[in-house]
Structure 1
């Protein structure tokens, strides 16, 4: 077994939250973005967060949300992390960190090496960077599209803060993703669904088990 950090994102039912917890996920992600098929309302999110509290870190994923919305999530759901998945600036991330006294994770969309440059600025103020694939041109959501990118782009990357790999990960490719990227923190959403937006408990368990035992390839 390894100490890989595993996040299961886009959970929306008690059954799948429990499956993630039973499997040993380190983080559970709740999506607050109405355009997403994984969106959860505040009342349901509170129930799911309470199930996970003290067992896994609770991550609230938002996309360019206004301060009123963030404040309501902070007060009612009380997440451990805010994950910003939109075009939020480093300054906005820094302000949220101070205002809500929560850890901040910023998603950075990647398709080529040049895209890594923006991560440097976010890594100064955020607690973790999440690298996700750029969405397809016809997508109206920034993540959860089941798309991956060239994982070798992250090999040897030296940022001020830790980073996490996302985008099209599932039980069949996560070991390769960890090996090629050198990343020991990984995030899954669409790759553990039986249909879009509907998580599958067995796929969650398989993913966590595989990711937990995967190894980074050294000496390259």
Structure 2
């Protein structure tokens, strides 16, 4: 059995884009460009990892439609439902192995995201034994949720939690709070997240969950102890 990590106590793993495939970026992109809007990095900033109504307003503004935030959200979820009929939501390659690896190194694990817990139960319920209570945290009311998950849900210090996420805004907040972070940005061809994540200063960015191996996790553990995750 591998020696447990010494500094990190919890891994908080984003659900959509890390454990599950990204079924949001393509729909958001199409929502905007199909209505004559321009899809830019600033547009992504206004939408990604924001509360639903904030993201809905961002989509409406970018698409140049005179809709309320809720009207935009309603249309978006209808279009996402249609999209997922041909592009189903599914576990990403390596997701379950990653969770087992994290737990094998002594970490508690929890997932989080902007949808309610029924989304987690539907797609990850059969793997509930790989998560610690509460299993999933809906962050829609306090996105991106790093402070709340760390201090309020688990009562930990910022240097004791590793966040794994696909959105640069989360990386920026992690940097501000000096929280250990691994980025897994979307591979969607129109996504600005890889660029924005690099610009955030994130030093650990992967394009495969298999790359989050024991060596990388031990590196993060040592960096967390030395408060050097965000320093060269």
Bigger share in strand: 1
Q: TM-score range by the shorter chain?
A: 0.3 to 0.5
Higher relative contact order (CA 8 A, sep 6+): 2
* TM-score, structure 2 normalization: 0.36
* TM-score, structure 1 normalization: 0.38
Larger Rg: 2
